[in-house]
Amino acid sequence: MTDWLPAVARRLGGPVEVTGRTPLSGGYAAAQVERIDLRVGDRTMPVVVKPAAAVEVAAMRAVAVVEGVGAPRMLHPDPLVLTWVDGDPAAEGGPVPADVWRTLARVHRHWLRKRARGIPVVDAAWWAALCERTLVALRGAARRTGEAEYERAAGPVAEWAADPRIRAALALLPRTLCHGDPHRGNMLGTASTQWALIDWGNARMAPAGLDLAVLEAQGRSDDAAYRAEAPALPGQLAAVEREWARAHVHVQYLGFAADHLGAARVAEMIETAAESLSRLGPALTECTNGTFVQT
């Protein structure tokens, strides 16, 4: 179906014709995602067409108003039509491209302490719902495999759903627009082109440390391009954000780990989250001049 074609033609300022279409598969590409080649005047222009997810549509609108952030751009909301980004995903274990750091810095700076329409907010209720979804995955893995490690992991996650340290951190930290899932498969480019951050379907309004913790969990990388443009949190508040984010991210990906990475990795992630939470309490106490008391 190409019902979207007239609207895209108006957006591009001339007649548009489909000259080819290719299903996209592999990696994390969703079903029904296509590359469609268009003829626009005397040039060829590829686009990506995918089912419209409300959050991704809202995120693309929010990113479009950020100065200095380029592709991909939304050409149509439903189905979602995006400008094509040439290149391959960033190599696992390699450095995060400076372009990606700059994109995050500019988005985080622009949306700091603002609210983008249609984007979910990471608050205490959101966190509790994340823990509940994670418990379903852990207990399902326990039943499926018979490995006790999954059920042991469920215990801390159930307790963390109402953890006062998480609630206090989320009440204290400023939020911004976060990508939510900036793994290397969502970075496209080449050495000779600008790198882009794609697939904003997990976007959320959250403390900026969320995106940084996702990147940190994949291996340390030079974040100088980010620090050069991103807003900086004062003193101990930065420590609160860092420890909250590390705990959050390791819980966020526990469901994926339970389905794909095995019990040993789940145990490691639970341990990392617990260590961050143990540091979060003292950081909160120092940041609030001793008024935070864990119950």
Q: Provide the pLDDT confidence category of residue 219 given band limits of 50, 70 and 90.
A: confident
- Is 198 a residue whose pLDDT tops 60? yes
Is residue 39 within 8 Å of residue 19, measured between CB atoms? yes
Residue 14 has what pLDDT?
A: 84
Q: Which two tokens stand for residue 204?
A: 């959320």
- Is 165 a residue whose pLDDT tops 70? yes
Q: Which two tokens stand for residue 186?
A: 């969502």
What is the SS3 assignment for 170? helix
How far CA 125 is from CA of 122, 167, 237, 248, in Å, comes to 8, 9, 22, 14
**pLDDT tens digits for range 225-265:** 999 999 999 888 999 999 999 999 999 999 999 999 999 99
Helix intervals (H) in 161-234: 164-172, 209-217, 224-227
**Percentage helix, strand, coil for the chain under 3-state DSSP, each rounded to 5:** 50, 15, 35
Cα separation, 195 vs 284, in Å, equals: 37
Residue 259 has what pLDDT?
A: 95
Average pLDDT over residues 151-173: 97
Average pLDDT over residues 269-284: 97
- Is 164 a residue whose pLDDT tops 70? yes
Residue 61 has what pLDDT?
A: 97
Sequence-ordered list of residues with C-beta below 8 angstroms from that of 229, at least 6 positions apart, any chain: 102, 105, 106, 109
Q: Provide the pLDDT confidence category of residue 71 given band limits of 50, 70 and 90.
A: confident
Please state, rounded to an integer, the average pLDDT across all residues of the chain. 93
| CA proximity to 136, closest of 249, 259, 250 | 259
- Between residues 27 and 63, the one the model is more confident about: 63
Cα separation, 253 vs 130, in Å, equals: 10
Average pLDDT over residues 285-293: 79
pTM: 0.93
Residue 29 has what pLDDT?
A: 46
Rg (CA), the chain: 21
User: What burial letters (b/e) apply to 176-200, b meaning 16+ CB within 10 Å?
Assistant: bbbbbbbbbbbbbbeeeebbbbbbb
Cα separation, 167 vs 139, in Å, equals: 25
Residue 27 has what pLDDT?
A: 47
CATH code for residues 53-71+85-287: 3.90.1200.10
**pLDDT tens digits for range 124-138:** 999 999 999 999 999
Q: Which two tokens stand for residue 276?
A: 């961050």
| CA proximity to 47, closest of 35, 57, 65 | 35
Q: Provide the 8-state DSSP code for 138.
A: H
Tell me what percent of the residues of the chain surpass a pLDDT of 90.
82
What is the SS3 assignment for 66? coil
Residue 26 has what pLDDT?
A: 55
**pLDDT tens digits for range 200-216:** 999 999 999 999 999 99
Residue 200 has what pLDDT?
A: 96
- Is 24 a residue whose pLDDT tops 90? no
Residue 25 has what pLDDT?
A: 73
Q: Provide the pLDDT confidence category of residue 41 given band limits of 50, 70 and 90.
A: confident
Residue 38 has what pLDDT?
A: 95
- Is 114 a residue whose pLDDT tops 90? yes
Is residue 44 within 8 Å of residue 77, measured between CB atoms? no
- Is 295 a residue whose pLDDT tops 70? no
Cα separation, 205 vs 176, in Å, equals: 5
Dihedral, CA of residue 218, residue 221, residue 227 and residue 230, to nearest 10: -30
The domain limits of the chain are 15-51, 53-71+85-287
